[in-house]
Amino acid sequence: MEKQMMERSMSTVHPNEAIEFMIKNSPKYAEAKANRIYLENYLKVVKASLALKCNESTIAMGERYALAHPEYKVVLDGLKVAVEQEEHLKWWLMSAQARVDVWRSEEASNRGIDRATR
């Protein structure tokens, strides 16, 4: 639905629809950002936990073990998805804001033209 609204308004600016889009999707963006931050920190926890499980005596070997572990890759893949979702929503929200800014600029230009033609 949001994508259709954004595509439909490519040539015509509908500021109220853009604002409604921002209001509706800002919680989704906040959740996506929270998920990304959580996974970034959880990745550190997984890495540390796996490094502790390693039977090698050096820190470097423990880190290498953790980074190569399938469990680490699963969390890393989740982080990739979270970043993609966050960025997708971020750019849609920025696009909606830009549409409002364009409308505001057009309205200011129209007021200037109205004053000039009086």
For the stretch 5-27, pLDDT in tens is: 555 545 677 888 989 999 999 99
pLDDT, mean over the chain: 89
Q: Of 82, 84, 98, whose CA–CA distance to 19 is shortest? A: 98
pLDDT at position 33, please? 96
pLDDT bin (cut points 50, 70, 90) of residue 28 is very high
pLDDT digits (tens, 9 = 90+) for 42-70: 999 999 999 999 988 899 999 999 999 99
21 phi and psi angles, rounded to 5 deg:
-60, -45
pLDDT at position 11, please? 61
Given a cut of 80, is residue 116 above it in pLDDT? yes
pLDDT at position 2, please? 61
Domain ranges for the chain, please list them. 31-116
Give the global pTM.
0.73
> 82-118: b or e for each residue (b if 16 or more CB lie within 10 Å)?
bbebbeebeebbeebeebbeebeeeeeeeeeeeeeee
Alpha-helix runs per DSSP H in 1-118: 2-8, 15-53, 59-68, 70-116
